[in-house]
Amino acid sequence: METERVRGNPPGHTNQYVAGNIRAARQAIGMDLRTMSKLLDDAGRKLSPSGISKLEAGDRRVDVDDLTVIAYLLRTTPAALLTPPDAESGVTGVPGEYLPEEIEKWMQGSLKLTPEGLLHYWQQEWFACQNRIQYYESSLNIPGSDQLPSTETYRQRLAEQRERARFIRVRGEQIDPTGRVFSGPDFLDRLAPGQHRIAAPAHLGATGDPIERMQ
- Same structural domain, 59 and 24: yes
Gap between the Cα atoms of 94 and 96, Å rounded: 6
Quick one: pLDDT at residue 192? Answer: 57
Q: Domain holding 27: CATH number?
A: 1.10.260.40
Quick one: pLDDT at residue 87? Answer: 57
Q: Which domain holds residue 67?
A: 13-94
Q: 153-186: per-residue pLDDT in tens?
A: 999 999 999 999 999 999 999 999 999 999 988 8
- Is 7 a domain residue? no
Q: 39-98: per-residue pLDDT in tens?
A: 999 999 999 999 999 999 999 988 899 999 999 999 999 999 998 876 565 788 888 899
- Same structural domain, 89 and 134: no
Distances (CA, A) of 151 to 20, 139, 141: 40, 9, 10
Q: Answer whether residue 6 shows pLDDT above 90.
A: no
Q: Answer whether residue 4 shows pLDDT above 60.
A: no
Residue 149, classified by CB atoms within 10 Å of its CB into exposed (0-12), middle (13-18) or buried (19+), is exposed
DSSP state of 67: H
Q: Answer whether residue 5 shows pLDDT above 60.
A: no
DSSP 120-150: HHHHHHHHHHHHHHHHHHHHHTSTTGGGSTT
User: At CA 157, angle to CA 154 and CA 158, rounded to 5?
Assistant: 85
Average pLDDT, the chain: 84
Distances (CA, A) of 176 to 59, 106, 130, 172: 41, 19, 19, 6
- Is 103 a domain residue? no
Question: Which residues partner with 91 through β-bridges?
Answer: 94
Gap between the Cα atoms of 36 and 73, Å rounded: 8
Q: 15-31: per-residue pLDDT in tens?
A: 888 999 999 999 999 99
- Is 153 a domain residue? yes
- Is 199 a domain residue? no
- Is 196 a domain residue? no
Q: Say how many domains are in the chain.
A: 2
Q: 101-159: per-residue pLDDT in tens?
A: 998 899 889 999 999 999 999 999 999 999 999 999 999 998 887 777 788 999 999 99
- Same structural domain, 136 and 90: no
Cβ(181)–Cβ(175) below 8 Å: yes
Cβ atoms < 10 Å from Cβ of 159: 11
Quick one: pLDDT at residue 203? Answer: 47
- Same structural domain, 130 and 186: yes
